[in-house]
Amino acid sequence: SATFMPKPLFGDNGTGMHTHQSLWKGGKNLFAGKGYANLSDLAMNYIAGILEHGPSLLAFTNPTTNSFKRLVPGFEAPVNLVYSARNRSASIRVPIAVHGDKARRIEFRTPDAACNPYLAFAAMLMAGLDGIQKKMDPGKPADFNLYDASPEQLKDLKAVPANLTKVLDALEEDNEWLTQGGVFDKDFIDNYIEYKREEVEQIVNQRPHPYEFVLYYDC
């Protein structure tokens, strides 16, 4: 059968929903420029917004308890909120083997197909636009393989939150960027957090897990 579940099989790669993004105006790709990986300053601000709000953004792009079983080391999924044009282990990849300015874009590799696309795409856009409005700086790219990186290389990098509870905590603390222009409102955000916390309680804390039978049935 077909499934949108991000991580249906233990020990195997999960399924992501990598989203390629660019902004256009008057038929011109605003992400094309002369900077890093031939991106514009505006594109870098957009990247910075997604990375800055990444922990709270994941409440919409990775909204299930299963989502975070995919975002673990060793299975070709991003585990650090960084950007790079040199590897596929970053949460934001900048494709460089493209033909011309029209193809300049970023690829956000964290989302999965269990998300509500209306909420996820609206939230991604709002995060990027907040970065543009505030002229955020994404810092230096992580142009090295994050899967093989040393603890010294990783120590200053922001990690993807480990579970749904952590991203809901982040959303509770960091949500003003979503309410600009009335795109999201506070009541919706509060209700969403409450609903998702109940989901975590039901799935994680109350229901016996099949693997618990393997570990504890004959204890």
CATH number of the domain that residue 156 is part of = 3.30.590.10
* 3 within domain boundaries: no
Please indicate, yes or no, if residue 9 is contained in any of the structural domains.
no
- Which range, of 9-13, 59-63, 80-84, averages the lowest pLDDT? 9-13
In a domain, 10, yes or no: no
Per residue in 9-19, pLDDT tens? Answer: 888 888 899 99
In a domain, 2, yes or no: no
Rounded CA-CA distance 190/125 in Å is 20
pLDDT of residue 106: 97
Q: Identify the pLDDT of residue 74.
A: 81
- Please indicate, yes or no, if residue 137 is contained in any of the structural domains: yes
Q: Please give the residue range of the domain that contains residue 147.
A: 19-216
Q: Is 106 inside any structural domain?
A: yes
Residue 30: what pLDDT? 98
Kindly state whether residue 157 falls inside one of the protein's structural domains. Answer: yes
H-helix or E-strand containing 48? helix 41-52
pLDDT value at position 212?
74
What is the predicted pLDDT for the residue at 1?
A: 80
User: What percent of the chain clears pLDDT 70, i.e. is strictly above it?
Assistant: 100
Amino acid at 106: I
Q: How confident is the model at residue 37 (pLDDT cuts 50, 70, 90)?
A: very high
> pLDDT-based confidence at 2, cuts 50/70/90?
confident
pLDDT given for residue 32 in this prediction: 96
Ranges 25-34, 38-47, 65-74, 131-140: which has the least confidence? 65-74
Tell me what pLDDT residue 129 has.
98
Q: What's the pLDDT score for residue 75? A: 79
Per-residue pLDDT tens digits for 141-197: 988 877 777 888 888 889 999 999 999 999 999 999 999 999 999 999 999 999 999
pLDDT per position as a tens digit, 192-217: 999 999 999 988 888 888 887 787 77
Q: Using alpha carbons only, what angle is made at residue 109 by residues 46 and 172, rounded to the nearest 5 degrees?
A: 65
Mean pLDDT across the chain = 92
Spatial CB neighbours of 131, under 8 Å, sequence gap ≥ 6: 45, 46, 47, 48, 49, 50, 52, 138
Q: Side chain identity at 164, as an amino acid letter?
A: L
Report how many domains make up the chain.
1
Is the Cβ–Cβ distance between 20 and 106 less than 8 Å?
Answer: yes
Of residues 75 and 117, more confidence is placed in 117
Q: Is the pTM of the predicted complex or chain greater than 0.85?
A: yes
